[in-house]
Structure 1
């Protein structure tokens, strides 16, 4: 079934979802996915281990489990197990959205309560997926586009911190040094230069090449510390329920609410990924992606990993490179499993200076915003109603991110949840879209007004023009 002409001309893909790039291209493209999400995936367990006294000294194990579970979850999204999985290039990883509340739970009830709450509350996202028909009308392109744009905008400060050389922020030593800014600038220039002025393989591998060039430059400057590689072991054996499980009602309710939030993020990520191909996400893709989020978060809790969700920076990578192949994402997932089982390999990657990753991350985070803007532009008529929803959602979302002190009179739990631009902005868009009359489920020029396309094969090769590329 051919897609509407407007969608066809908006495709940015060089390799579509079912395309299989040659192995010589697919492997580095898969590694590129790993590099895009690596530090974002390992940072939450690193921070949790440092903040919760009961797992002090367990940092390496928690990081390796985060890598392994992310790899398995990515493979399931690319190659579904029955209804579990989107059959899309969705890269999974540990979510920062859970980190603050889970630290509080860990310090109050112990680490076993963290994994117990993550396990028991995980069905929230499974139910979201199974009942997609009932609630999908509340997430039209206007809402999902706003969520995707907020994801990109709120990640940019993180990218700037990495580019300045310290993910911890301006208080860290060396923040904003000429060495760090120079490395980040080198990566950014190489990445954008290859992507915009070259064709073919060099173009789609631009982020990977940029990071490799930056890593080699950092090594030449003597700012790469490889001491952790020598001390790392060769094999990590997964140990299910190493820390046990405990079930605290307040902890379970808190995590259940967070699953609702990350479910919204997953809907936005799936929409942003599929929009690169010039079409809307199908009901099957949305349902499978949400169910996989819940199932793999429960799997992660059993294997001592924090809840998993789709990684937004990899949505930016798909849109930036034009490589939407699920087989490439699957290769990335396999590498994550390897990294999780072989600490020495992971140590080499984790030795990468923050500034090197930051140069590439800034490009990707900006592309996430661009992906959200494309969803709105292609599917929504920005009349008075929709413009008001867009403006207020972005203003309130970014407002609490820029001035979190506005919530200082509220309980700590409220500050943690609604201090997030994604939560405040996303819920504002959701509620205003319901409350303000005149828009219905979705408004816009395309025939798929609810943000989900009718069921069609995921291989659209026959429907897309042969010249479809990132230039289109």
Structure 2
């Protein structure tokens, strides 16, 4: 017991708590704002998110894929749900109708995923999400997260300009975390994320004061706060397809963890992971939460900390659930400045680029086969940098897909892998004869 609760394990556990919390809390807040929910319902969603995210992490590490990979709200589906919520007026629907359609789409997709997992559909999914598609996904996820966290660390004022002092502080904090990671001794390097979050928070309060008022009084737990499930088929289909595409996250996360932790996952691990993800997505949807997925970005965190033991991960997940059960603790952590969390995560997720690069396994490309990687990645990045308003003339239910660079990049990659025989374009090695 003493060994399990060693000081190193407990500090590592606290680092996991802050990492999971920083990746979680902003998502229910943004969804509640997009669907114009009152503050007490938002607070309820935050508490539900912390409680179920903590439990999901523990179960995934214990009985699911069995890696220390955070189980959290899908970034891909977060974008789709936000897009649908913000498009309510253009769709001519109420927010409750859209929210109910989203709930139906998620529930149906989770049922299909469970059936695929139980009745041997894993091989079908693996043939769709092959190693090249996974590499494309990892590259695009890296760019998407870096864009999000870079923008988040720069504080924008109400008139649209940058708050120079806070933004400069965030940049200096990011640089400090990078230096601690690279130049610090093993202990400092391993805990550079925690040092950055706690030290950055303290420094922010000293320099700029505490601008957050904490978390509002939580309402009682309420089912389907976004809207009761319905059969608004356009919304249902969009959400259904997005949830199935989100399965690419599961395969990318587990495959990347296999390489980092040097342990091969078997079919049971994949199947158990999909079942747990679907189970918590169903529960989370009942409380207005974005569906769950294993966080591929956890690989960047693991590479930064170099602490691969599952015990801190289990304890961190359990502590997060306790925080959700005790409102005052969640209120306290919610006071962490958003710019501080984004600055530290910006450095942590830089490691994910290395994961994407190594996923290619040293594959070499020629002037023809480079399109296999370059076309979906560069198209996806290009779409990420285009305002969604550009696509406003397209059918409204196509816009969540076409305006999402991550989704479009993965779709393009899947199509290219299915219609092109890339091996026919690979150059044969030139045989060199002996010099005469």
Q: TM-score range by the shorter chain?
A: 0.7 to 0.9
Q: Is the 8 A contact 1:195 1:203 kept in 2?
A: yes
Partner of 1:61: 44
Partner of 2:65: 86
Q: Is the 8 A contact 1:313 1:365 kept in 2?
A: yes
Query: Normalization by structure 1: what TM-score?
Result: 0.78
Question: Match for 2:123 among 124, 127, 133?
Answer: 133
| Correspondence 1:12-161 to 2 at 5 A | 23-53=6-36, 57-80=40-63, 85-95=64-74, 96-100=78-82, 103=85, 104=88, 107=95, 109=97, 111-130=99-118, 131-161=121-151
Partner of 1:393: 376
Partner of 2:408: 424
Q: Is the 8 A contact 1:124 1:294 kept in 2?
A: no
Partner of 1:450: none
Q: Is the 8 A contact 2:17 2:320 kept in 1?
A: yes
Q: Is the 8 A contact 1:32 1:208 kept in 2?
A: yes
Distance 1:64 1:185 in 2: 31
| Correspondence 1:358-377 to 2 at 5 A | 358-377=342-361
SS in 1 for 2:210: coil
Could you tell me how far 1:265 is from its partner in structure 2?
Answer: 2.0
User: Computing the radius of gyration over CA atoms, which structure comes out larger, 1 or 2?
Assistant: 2
Query: Normalization by structure 2: what TM-score?
Result: 0.84
Could you tell me how far 1:71 is from its partner in structure 2?
Answer: 1.2
Partner of 1:436: 420
Partner of 2:189: 203
Q: Is the 8 A contact 2:65 2:265 kept in 1?
A: no
Distance 1:56 1:297 in 2: 23
**Match status 1:176 vs 2:162:** yes
Distance 1:46 1:347 in 2: 13
Q: Is the 8 A contact 2:45 2:287 kept in 1?
A: no
Aligned pair in 2 of structure 1 residues 248, 171: CA closer, same or farther (>3 Å)?
Answer: farther
SS in 2 for 1:195: helix
Partner of 1:228: 214
Aligned pair in 2 of structure 1 residues 374, 281: CA closer, same or farther (>3 Å)?
Answer: farther
Q: Unpaired runs of 5+ in structure 1? A: 1-19, 441-472
Q: Is the 8 A contact 1:41 1:93 kept in 2?
A: yes
**Match status 1:277 vs 2:261:** yes
The number of residues matched between the two structures is 410
Q: Unpaired runs of 5+ in structure 2? A: 425-436
Could you tell me how far 1:215 is from its partner in structure 2?
Answer: 0.8
Aligned pair in 2 of structure 1 residues 49, 138: CA closer, same or farther (>3 Å)?
Answer: closer
Aligned pair in 2 of structure 1 residues 171, 390: CA closer, same or farther (>3 Å)?
Answer: farther
